[in-house]
Amino acid sequence: MHMKTSLIGFLILLILTIPGYSQSEQKVTDSNEVPELTWPREIDAEKGTVTIYQPQIDGYTANILEGRSAISYKPNDGEMSFGAFWFRAFLNIDKENRIASLDQIDILDLKFPGAEDSLKLEKGTEFIRNKIEAMGIVMSLDRLIASLDEAEVVMEKSQKLNNTPPKVYYRQKPTILITIDGDPIWKEESSKNLKYCANSPFFIAQDLKSGNYYINGGDNWYVTTTPPTGWKPTEQVSKNILNFAEENKPETPKAETSEEDQDPVRPDIIVVTEPSELIVTDGEPDYQPIKATNLLYVSNTESDIIMEIGSQQHYVLLAGRWYMAKQLSADDWTFEEPEKLPVDFSKIPADSDVASVRVSVPGTEEANDALLEQAIPQTAEVSRTDTKIDVKFDGSPKFKQIPNTDVSYAENSDKQILKIKNKFYAVDNGIWFVADYPKGPYSVSDHRPEEVDQIPPDEPVYNTKYVYVYSATPQVVYVGYLPGYTYSYAYGGVPVYGTGYVYPYWYGSVYYPRPVTYGFNVHYNPYSGWGFSFGISAGGWVGWGYNPYYRPYWGPAGYHAGYRHGYYRGYHHGYNRGYASGYRRGMNQSQINNARNNVYRNQRTGVKSTRDLSAARAKDLSRPSSRPNNMYSDRKGNVYQRDKKGNYDKMNRPGGNPGTTRPGTPSTRPATRPNQPAKPSTRPTKPSTRPGQPSTRPSTPNTRPSSQTRQQFDRSHQNRQQGTRNYQQHRSTQQRTAPRSTPSRSMPSRGGRRR
């Protein structure tokens, strides 16, 4: 990287970081150390000290981050001077640990008025610069997400999702919903004298001798002779059925339960063959007021149910979508667009028992934060030689053309296989593979076909458009996926789960399931993302492994384990023992859930993420500054200090600290590096944040920013405050709960910013 002044070059490389402890502050002993990722940062130069203030993000497109930052230089024997710089960098993201690292940094411009004479006194800057370029550059993902609120973020917004209401069942006693993917497909095991339902994640089988049908969930057995109804608990189970169930027992993590959580009540079961959801209350609904609103919530349920007093309408949250009806037992639930929710929904207090629903109310801090999270990918480095994929077809490959596109997809494969221009692409565990033939051999692809952007949401391979290839070398490919790959989408200002469409499954000699939206009580937890309710996600209900899908029932992530600690037996103990308890417990278990939902962990070989950053922290040469993080740069490069009253005073003004003019494009600006990551085709051309042309006139002596600039600074200040709160909260949780034998992880951001 070539700069006018080599010292400035190394300073700017440092500026772009939010590094961990310096070697003088911390001895890194293992990857579980939680670094103090604070602002501002400072470093000793030979003749003075440089302080770097938190960057202000201008744009984030295709994993390219652009921004600017204020900087100060204090000579040992002189006055402090202020400046600003502009940068562009490639981001590597580790959502498990809430860490981002900067790579392939380009300095677009730098103005340090008044400091040039002092900087010329520095010696040996090239050596120091090389050291800084080799250091590990890490930053807090929580602070980054908070800063994105003021940036131009190009976010993939899902259109044409299907919000048709599912069939909603209401019960007033413990009940479990048993789903079958359409009419049951019975597969006979003649040697065992039984047949089982192939197209369900639940254990459903018939003893051919007695004619009895059985359903099993953990220690619970049910029997009927008249399916799909008439199910009764039983202790008398045919031996062949018992043996078959034991042979194919799912690997489901055991939930932590206390003595009071042990529930002797066996739930009823409802068997359904169409998209359905279940609402359960512990007896008659117990309505409780929501402070400062005209709303009530149902307290004795694990579902999110709110009633508006004026209209007497009930609202229930299903897969991130609000549906309304006059009665909980109604058959005529209708979808409510998020922006049409009653205004009091946005007034639900953040400390309310139902505060969790705020993430599904447009304009709330939680919803804004969740939407920004939708724009952040999980990234990884993939080895071209070590990363493999095994593609299977049930018989000869069969491809279906997607109307009005140049894409076909395989109907009878256990993987997502696309045919585009006589090439075959497989997407598995967030990685693109390519082959000349449908059965392979497949190799890691260093490009993402543009045609995938044509795929509409009513096709089962829609989620592949959220998997990207950023850049590549002869050895590795840099990849990433947005939450859309794991069926989390932005709609109407809130996150929703699933597209809502019913996709056709494949059944030939084997059954291949497709993604579903309803039937599993999916909820959003700010600490761990989407997960299933406790009732079916633990205890052996879901995830029967006899079928060919040894991974989850569908999808790339570990959904078979669901929340684990969310929805904690709420069907019997009420809301505070259900979702609210799981919500709190999710804080302490988020590292487990986040690790499970990182699909790159499913790839056994060839994938490297940024989980272990201890080496990068050990190389850090900077230290936290004792100065307040109260410097802001406007888009012209002027630097302002915010005082305790919220006023801003210009620091690099004419006089002792000469004011800047609009910075120009330097003739020595570095060219784009050869490995500059390519932008995914789903992103439009990124906005230019490069400063404009220089002015020959000095800036106006006015020391206060314009009204518009002040508003921008106020917004930046709120974002810094919010990011710091989220970061401190997550770091505190990490330190309390992270196991010493595995890398520390923390929960996704909770909260957001006021606009």
In this predicted structure, the answer to whether residue 130 has a pLDDT above a threshold of 60 is no
Q: Look-up: residue for tokens 């209350």?
A: 281
- Rounded-to-integer distance, Cα 70 and Cα 57, Å: 12
More confident residue, 460 or 671: 460
Lowest-confidence segment of 95-99, 221-225, 551-555, 629-633 by average pLDDT: 551-555
* Region 354-365 average pLDDT: 93
In this predicted structure, the answer to whether residue 673 has a pLDDT above a threshold of 80 is no
**What integer pLDDT is reported at residue 256 of this predicted model?**
46
Handedness of CA 284, 340, 580, 560 (dihedral sign): positive
**What integer pLDDT is reported at residue 565 of this predicted model?**
30
pLDDT, one tens digit per residue, over 363-407 is 998 898 888 888 888 888 899 999 999 999 999 999 999 999 999
Lowest-confidence segment of 202-211, 437-446, 652-661 by average pLDDT: 652-661
- Rounded-to-integer distance, Cα 456 and Cα 399, Å: 17
**What integer pLDDT is reported at residue 29 of this predicted model?**
32
Tokens, residue 187: 């597969």
Closest CA to 267 of 615, 541, 580: 541
* Region 69-78 average pLDDT: 82
Closest CA to 570 of 174, 276, 257: 174
Three-class SS of 295-351:
EEEECCECCCEEEECCCCEEEEEECCEEEEECCCCCCCCEEECHHHCCHHHHHCCCC
**What integer pLDDT is reported at residue 210 of this predicted model?**
96
* pLDDT band (50, 70, 90) for residue 529: confident
The full length of the chain comes to 755
Closest CA to 516 of 334, 363, 319, 378: 319
**What integer pLDDT is reported at residue 576 of this predicted model?**
40
Q: Are 419 and 378 in contact (CB under 8 A)?
A: no
Reported pTM: 0.75
pLDDT, one tens digit per residue, over 597-612 is 678 877 777 887 644 4
Domain map (residue ranges) of the chain: 6-156+610-737, 378-481
**What integer pLDDT is reported at residue 207 of this predicted model?**
97
**What integer pLDDT is reported at residue 151 of this predicted model?**
67
DSSP calls for 683-713: SPPPPP----PPPSSPPPS--S--HHHHHHH
* pLDDT band (50, 70, 90) for residue 623: confident
Closest CA to 384 of 425, 444, 448: 444
Handedness of CA 163, 377, 617, 2 (dihedral sign): negative
How far does Cα 255 stand from its chain's mean position? 24
Lowest-confidence segment of 300-314, 334-348, 528-542 by average pLDDT: 528-542
- Rounded-to-integer distance, Cα 285 and Cα 297, Å: 9
Specify the amino acid at residue 83: G
